[in-house]
Structure 1
């Protein structure tokens, strides 16, 4: 448990420098005296080095990182820095990301829509040993442990897809048109079509309607 009156020492891990700067500024404004950002990192190797050097109380960890993702950071520091706790802070609210990150060792998972004061409170709770989730995401974890979501099947299916194919799959399943997906991901419509064809082939589905149903059944939307 963190000592009263002593700031929680935090490392911020995200591959977008502007986002890291924004988090640092938000924590400084909302958590004066409560949170101390001691380091930042942009990829897995930087994150592991920062966590091992700083031995922070809490790591704010993005799920998708160059070099292996947030789960790889937790795996590589589990033995060397056993006292550090991890709180996922991600744009993704997909069930497989939430469940996979918790299975990897995180104590909580919140999305980037969280406010500064809410994030300060979440960091404090994780530092004290509590588990913290954005409301909708807590249901994913409960369903996974209750057996409502077949996590093994979800992981096996998604392992067939590349990171970009997962992004395209999720947007298409949510009802985005190819043109909208292309704009969202900064790729061409032709590239979206290619990714969609690969997704349907790998998942053995025949239409976007089947894809939407498949993703909905697995809580991926």
Structure 2
């Protein structure tokens, strides 16, 4: 059974989600704040984190960027705004569903992202396809030319892995340097390639050099 950690700042929603998912997944913990979420996820190492997007102290993005555990994130929110969807996907979430989803559908979404696939509520998939095909979300384009949205989308750990990859380190050497498993390095490398839209490690190295990320 998939191990799940639930993050939402409303205790009533967390209780309801637990009831809906009872017997379908193994909920190993929950949290209502960013700090509690980061600590709990790093402690329990769940397979999947159900992550609320809008929370105090930085919201879901702060959790995504603060977690070191090797886990998969599925955003779960009342919001279906394009900018919310794109921001958490760029930060590393594997899917995004709205809170109108049924318990059984949510369990299916959890299984799908845990298997390595992406999952989106039907009307949200188009936002992601447009963004990664070169489309822009208005709020993001306002950032100005001094920001590289692709670099900004990389988590702190992904940037660390990227720099070591660009310097020629092997996956095993990166794992020893960062005190993480080879499997975790491979996962980060795969996410980096996906976010930067590079086809292989050599192309990624050139990309990193061109942005002084090595």
Runs ≥4 residues deviating over 6 A: none
Instruction: Name the counterpart of 2:119.
Output: 132
Instruction: Name the counterpart of 2:64.
Output: 74
The answer to whether the aligner puts 1:61 opposite 2:61 as a matched pair is no
CA RMSD of aligned residues (A): 1.6
The answer to whether the aligner puts 1:116 opposite 2:110 as a matched pair is no
C-alpha distance in 2, partners of 1:121/1:18?
22
Q: CA deviation at 1:155?
A: 2.4
Unaligned runs of 5+ in 1: 1-6, 159-221
Alignment length (residue pairs): 144
C-alpha distance in 1, partners of 2:51/2:142?
25
Give the alignment's TM-score, normalised by structure 2. Answer: 0.65
C-alpha distance in 1, partners of 2:41/2:71?
8
C-alpha distance in 2, partners of 1:120/1:85?
14
Q: CA deviation at 1:59?
A: 0.3
The answer to whether the aligner puts 1:25 opposite 2:19 as a matched pair is yes
Instruction: Name the counterpart of 2:139.
Output: 154
- The 3-state SS of whatever aligns with 1:39 is strand
- The 3-state SS of whatever aligns with 1:113 is coil
C-alpha distance in 1, partners of 2:133/2:47?
30
C-alpha distance in 2, partners of 1:92/1:120?
20
Give the alignment's TM-score, normalised by structure 1. Answer: 0.63
